[in-house]
A and B are shown apart, each in its own frame.
Chain A
Amino acid sequence: MGVEGIGARVARKEDKRFITGRGRYVDDVKIVGLTHAHFIRSPHAHAKVKGIDASAAKDMPGVVDVLTAQQLVDDKIGNLICGWAVSSKDGTPMKMGAWPAMAPDTVRFVGQAVAVVIAETKNQAKDAAEAVVVTYEELPAVSSMTAALASGAPQLHPEAPGNVVYDWAIGDEKLTNDAFSKAANVVSLDLTNNRLVPNAMEPRAAVAEYDDAEEHFTLHTTSQNPHVARLVLSAFYNIAQEHKLRVIAPDVGGGFGSKIFIYPEEMVALWASKKVRRPVKWTGDRTEAFLTDAHGRDHISHAEMAFDANNRILGLRVKTHANFGAYMSLFSSSVPTYLYATLLSGQYNIPTIYAEVMGVYTNTTPVDAYRGAGRPEASYLVERLMETSARQLKVDPAELRRINFVTQFPHQTPVIMAYDIGDFGASLDAALKAIDYAGFPARKAKAKAAGKLRGLGFSCYIEACGIAPSKAVGSLGAGVGLWESAEVRVNPVGTIEVLTGSHSHGQGHETTFAQLVADRLGISVDQVQIVHGDTDKVQFGMGTYGSRSAAVGMSAIFKAMEKVEAKAKKIAAHLLEASEGDIVIENGEFKVAGTDKAIALPMVALAAYTAHNLPDGMEPGLKEGAFYDPTNFTFPAGAYICEVEIDPGTGKTDIVDFVAVDDFGRLINPMIVEGQVHGGLAQGIGQAMLESAIYDDNGQPVTASFMDYAMPRADDVPSFRVSHTTTLCPGNPLGVKGCGEAGAIGSSPAVINAITDALGHNKIEMPATPGRVWEALQLQQAAE
């Protein structure tokens, strides 16, 4: 490893622009003639749109036009799609309700757009929006899954009788039932996985521009995957052809999954730019983010685990209801199925699993992949169940986990996934040591003497990342392949540009990807520039989500680098009159091994471009591309231990210690990896203790601002103790597994397990707010 190579804590190359206020986010983009869009949104959760009168608004100052849903229909703009086909257990396809970008006749959640005002300034657009009169006929709404599934419930979509999206299952039902009938003990648990609002700090935004002469569109948008956005916009929505649409995702202020999807607002801005023949900007405000960004989680589950007399797991049975909201968002169908139920084996040897998942429509904001996507829900279920089992079976929770750990690899679970490698015991041991597990009873006693309740909770999570082997996901219904592409361009002066299909919105790719190149060539990261986020520059890419950028994105760069190096070695050998096999690359030079003969990279590059003296038949230039399709998922895993102290007088819970030990395989930049973990931990703690999107019975959101929805703040979370164990991933050339989501996936069960340990009973749901904790304590006192 060089000082800036793989494994080095290199300070981020991208930071300078951010810390000096020179980042370039979508709302920063200014274009001559820019107009501003403001959407008119339904105040009702379910209603018929009876009429839209925009005549007064059109006469207001600065108004360019008011466009309504019917005009989208007239222009044959396609409905939004869900790109992953999932079938019910009876073989019938999922029931997709039509989702137009603006609703011409029926609105199905609060915030759904029906029209848009385009004006010279944002304020003028907002003023005019007040003057647009929309007549609604209110319909009864369902805001919970229970209400949606009740007999006689209001129906959302004619396509989906009973408000059911699908009734899906995985695993062997009979084998699992047999395991339960043989069990010495069965532990069961009911769980709610609370709905979260992503809340990337940069609201979604779009700047759309139409060039009449070229019939060409340019869209700046807050996207994690600009090429996927272009593909979907052109192939399905009939707005622009792929070769006539440039999508640019510049600096993006956090995504967490919520910026994967192509939303109505971005579609409408693009369409409107051609309608009004002026560039159109839409920047969401925070309220719009709460109302329209795809939400996350929202499961209700019943789970049972069967054990033999030696506390070995015999089987797992799960029934989950997953709230989809009012429509099926882009990847929504895959989240509670292939990203959730396939992880229900956790870190354990479970001979048989049967899981049923019912997807349900409600009159709420659509739900899709968010920060972990299905895997936090799986680890919450499995790890709450393990802790509950340990308490019920009166075994040490660490011990119960240990005797059931998978220890032989590869390991085929009963739910599709084949774990390639791991050492779960090593992470658990390191975590136990870090937290001083043996000292816990003394700490608990001391807290008790001070009138406080201490608790300790574990979570041994596993996740599937490096998304994903294209053939495998294709066979499961995915509409796209999930490979990644890269192009390495060595310039004539020896500096390097790497074009990648990955997209950085906080992950630090401009640094870590440069470290890979620096490592291989022995040059400085300053000589490497990472180019991403523009469909005119990068040929294609699948983007960044599912902790895939290191395992898949960097593997593509690795492959392209190998090709570049092979050609450069040929040129160097030719120039040095040596044999190709003797050339080694060191410190930016191509050397003849064992001699002092060497030629620097810039000279090799120059030779490639002057082409005056190349080996016979060699093409000029030094540029190579590669597509990398992974052969398997990767499986980051780890052990988290949370220690809490509750003040029984107020119900306030303090996290007094949090230890995270992760196995991410090889670390490219440990500083960045730790940062990714910290952020995820705060999200998991936020879910466990603070956050929850709540709707009233009429489908009105009651937590649609930062005043009402409790985001984790600096004084809600502790400093974390993060460390690593390492098993190298055998599935990719770098041995990396991915680290972006682990914290969010593994932490919430550790927190709740600690709180229930302190409480002495299991009757609390996320978020365990002071109010809920206090109530749980009263409940217990009443029982005593």
Chain B
Amino acid sequence: MSTVKLTVNGKSVSATVEDRTLLVHLLRENLNLTGTHVGCDTSQCGACIVHIDGKAVKSCTTLVGQIDGANVTTIEGIAKGDQLHPMQAAFRDNHGLQCGYCTPGMIMSAIDIVNRHAGDLDEETVRHELEGNICRCTGYHNIVKSVLDAAGRMKVAQAAE
């Protein structure tokens, strides 16, 4: 067993867990943050992606013990109150989701993609960068559209800040 301290969606959390506990299980089972999903057992699908210290990470492949002191953001933590994150809004406006199961991971991954490319994205880059996120419903068409749309919105939002 080990005890770790984390900040999750802005709140400090202290948890004593078995050494084998994965971050996704801590989030889902202990913290009731069930928006982060599990879609595979080989670190391939990206349904479990969260941000650790601002970077997209697969929480199904992260031991809680590895990230003591980290700042974790999940899909539940990106909207500001009632105001959706521009990526969330873009997914809705562009019909970037169907069953919604891959969606939290897609959105968390996509925010990181936009951040890393400073908003300068084209379709090819988005498709290449989304390699680690599998969606069975949408055929990716509207997901790619959503990410490109959000990249524009995030640029505007940043300029305004």
List the B side residues contacting A680 at CB < 8 Å: 139
Return A285 CB to nearest CB of chain B, in Å: 5
Contact yes or no, A713 B88, CB < 8 A: no
- Distance in angstroms between the alpha carbons of A220 and B83 in the assembled complex: 32
Give a binary string over B48-68; 1 marks a CB under 8 Å from any A CB, 0 the rest: 000000000000000000000
The answer to whether the Cβ of B118 comes within 8 Å of any Cβ in the partner chain is: no
Contact yes or no, A19 B36, CB < 8 A: no
Given A12-B95, A20-B76, A714-B130, verify A286-B103 contact (CB < 8 Å). no
Binds B, one of A91-99, A161-169, A250-258, A324-332: A250-258
The answer to whether the Cβ of A123 comes within 8 Å of any Cβ in the partner chain is: yes
Contact yes or no, B144 A253, CB < 8 A: no
Return B15 CB to nearest CB of chain A, in Å: 15
Beta-carbon contacts under 8 Å, B113-152 to A: 123-124, 126-128, 130-131, 133-145
Given A23-B35, A719-B141, verify A201-B44 contact (CB < 8 Å). no
Contact yes or no, A711 B84, CB < 8 A: no
Beta-carbon contacts under 8 Å, B91-129 to A: 91-93, 95, 97-104, 107, 123-124, 126-128
- Distance in angstroms between the alpha carbons of A682 and B102 in the assembled complex: 16
The answer to whether the Cβ of A681 comes within 8 Å of any Cβ in the partner chain is: yes
Contact yes or no, A20 B136, CB < 8 A: no
List the A side residues contacting B156 at CB < 8 Å: none
Contact of A20 among B32, B45, B79, B142 (CB under 8 A): B79
List the A side residues contacting B18 at CB < 8 Å: 123
- Distance in angstroms between the alpha carbons of A427 and B121 in the assembled complex: 34
Beta-carbon contacts under 8 Å, A699-725 to B: 705-707, 711-715, 717, 719-720
Contact of A713 among B104, B130, B145 (CB under 8 A): B130
- Distance in angstroms between the alpha carbons of A677 and B139 in the assembled complex: 8
- CB-nearest residue of chain B relative to A722? B141
- Distance in angstroms between the alpha carbons of A20 and B85 in the assembled complex: 9
Give a binary string over A487-525; 1 marks a CB under 8 Å from any B CB, 0 the rest: 000000000000000000111100000000000000000
Beta-carbon contacts under 8 Å, B22-52 to A: 28, 32-42, 44-45, 47
- Distance in angstroms between the alpha carbons of A246 and B99 in the assembled complex: 23
Contact yes or no, A714 B126, CB < 8 A: yes
Contact yes or no, B140 A19, CB < 8 A: no
| Range for the number of chain A residues in contact with chain B | 35 or more
Most buried by A among B88, B127, B130, B139: B139
Contact of B92 among A15, A202, A683 (CB under 8 A): A15
- CB-nearest residue of chain B relative to A705? B42
List the A side residues contacting B97 at CB < 8 Å: 15, 18-19
- Distance in angstroms between the alpha carbons of A353 and B34 in the assembled complex: 53
Count A-B contacts at CB 8 Å.
Answer: 183
Contact of A252 among B35, B36, B99 (CB under 8 A): B99
- Distance in angstroms between the alpha carbons of A674 and B32 in the assembled complex: 35
The answer to whether the Cβ of A394 comes within 8 Å of any Cβ in the partner chain is: no
Contact yes or no, B141 A20, CB < 8 A: no
Contact yes or no, A682 B140, CB < 8 A: yes
Contact yes or no, A21 B101, CB < 8 A: no
Contact yes or no, A19 B107, CB < 8 A: yes
Contact yes or no, A21 B35, CB < 8 A: yes
Contact yes or no, B84 A717, CB < 8 A: no
- Distance in angstroms between the alpha carbons of A19 and B134 in the assembled complex: 16
- CB-nearest residue of chain A relative to B147? A714
Contact yes or no, B101 A253, CB < 8 A: yes
Contact yes or no, A711 B95, CB < 8 A: no
List the A side residues contacting B130 at CB < 8 Å: 713-715
Given A19-B91, A201-B45, A201-B47, verify A714-B127 contact (CB < 8 Å). yes
Contact yes or no, A286 B134, CB < 8 A: no
Contact yes or no, B144 A256, CB < 8 A: no
The answer to whether the Cβ of B8 comes within 8 Å of any Cβ in the partner chain is: no
The answer to whether the Cβ of B75 comes within 8 Å of any Cβ in the partner chain is: yes
Given A16-B92, A202-B37, verify A706-B45 contact (CB < 8 Å). yes
Return B5 CB to nearest CB of chain A, in Å: 23
List the B side residues contacting A251 at CB < 8 Å: 99-100
Contact of A201 among B41, B74, B99 (CB under 8 A): B99
Contact yes or no, B139 A717, CB < 8 A: yes
Return B142 CB to nearest CB of chain A, in Å: 6
What is the interface size of chain B, counting residues whose CB is below 8 A from a CB of the partner? 56
Return B27 CB to nearest CB of chain A, in Å: 10
- Distance in angstroms between the alpha carbons of A123 and B126 in the assembled complex: 37
Contact yes or no, A202 B39, CB < 8 A: yes
List the B side residues contacting A25 at CB < 8 Å: 34, 37, 101
Contact yes or no, A254 B99, CB < 8 A: yes
The answer to whether the Cβ of A743 comes within 8 Å of any Cβ in the partner chain is: yes
List the A side residues contacting B126 at CB < 8 Å: 714
List the A side residues contacting B100 at CB < 8 Å: 14-15, 17-19, 23, 251, 253, 506
Given A123-B18, A201-B47, verify A675-B95 contact (CB < 8 Å). yes
- Distance in angstroms between the alpha carbons of A253 and B104 in the assembled complex: 12
- Distance in angstroms between the alpha carbons of A70 and B32 in the assembled complex: 37
The answer to whether the Cβ of A199 comes within 8 Å of any Cβ in the partner chain is: yes
Contact yes or no, B39 A28, CB < 8 A: no
- CB-nearest residue of chain A relative to B129? A714
Given A20-B75, A22-B76, A286-B40, verify A11-B92 contact (CB < 8 Å). yes
Return A153 CB to nearest CB of chain B, in Å: 34
The answer to whether the Cβ of A287 comes within 8 Å of any Cβ in the partner chain is: yes
List the A side residues contacting B28 at CB < 8 Å: 27-28
Contact yes or no, B103 A18, CB < 8 A: yes
List the B side residues contacting A16 at CB < 8 Å: 92
Beta-carbon contacts under 8 Å, A430-460 to B: none
The answer to whether the Cβ of A679 comes within 8 Å of any Cβ in the partner chain is: yes
- CB-nearest residue of chain A relative to B133? A714
Beta-carbon contacts under 8 Å, A571-613 to B: none
List the B side residues contacting A641 at CB < 8 Å: none
Contact of B93 among A11, A198, A254 (CB under 8 A): A11
Given A21-B74, A679-B137, A682-B140, verify A705-B40 contact (CB < 8 Å). yes
- Distance in angstroms between the alpha carbons of A683 and B37 in the assembled complex: 22
- CB-nearest residue of chain A relative to B88? A19
- Distance in angstroms between the alpha carbons of A505 and B99 in the assembled complex: 5
Contact of B39 among A203, A252, A707 (CB under 8 A): A203
The answer to whether the Cβ of A187 comes within 8 Å of any Cβ in the partner chain is: no
Return A148 CB to nearest CB of chain B, in Å: 30
Return A367 CB to nearest CB of chain B, in Å: 18
Contact yes or no, B139 A681, CB < 8 A: yes
- CB-nearest residue of chain B relative to A252? B99
- Distance in angstroms between the alpha carbons of A30 and B29 in the assembled complex: 9
Contact yes or no, A201 B98, CB < 8 A: no
List the A side residues contacting B133 at CB < 8 Å: 713-714
List the A side residues contacting B141 at CB < 8 Å: 675, 678, 717, 719-720
List the B side residues contacting A682 at CB < 8 Å: 138-140
Given A286-B42, A707-B42, A714-B131, verify A201-B136 contact (CB < 8 Å). yes
Return B108 CB to nearest CB of chain A, in Å: 10
List the B side residues contacting A706 at CB < 8 Å: 40, 42, 44-45, 134
Return B1 CB to nearest CB of chain A, in Å: 13
The answer to whether the Cβ of A200 comes within 8 Å of any Cβ in the partner chain is: yes
Most buried by A among B40, B47, B93: B40
- Distance in angstroms between the alpha carbons of A287 and B45 in the assembled complex: 13
The answer to whether the Cβ of A31 comes within 8 Å of any Cβ in the partner chain is: no
Given A12-B95, A23-B100, verify A675-B39 contact (CB < 8 Å). no
List the B side residues contacting A672 at CB < 8 Å: 95
> Which 9 residue pairs across A and B have the least CB separation, nearest first?
A21-B35, A253-B101, A18-B100, A506-B99, A682-B139, A21-B75, A506-B98, A678-B139, A706-B44
Q: Sample 14 A-B pairs with CB under 8 A, ordered by A number.
A: A18-B100, A21-B33, A23-B35, A25-B34, A253-B101, A285-B38, A506-B99, A508-B98, A675-B98, A678-B138, A705-B44, A711-B134, A712-B139, A715-B130
6 other contacts beyond A19-B107, A682-B140, with CB at 8 A cut-off?
Answer: A19-B92, A200-B136, A201-B102, A676-B98, A683-B136, A705-B42
Tell me the A residues contacting B by CB distance below 8 Å. Answer: 11-12, 14-25, 27-28, 30, 123, 198-203, 251-254, 256, 285-287, 505-508, 671-672, 674-683, 705-707, 711-715, 717, 719-720, 743
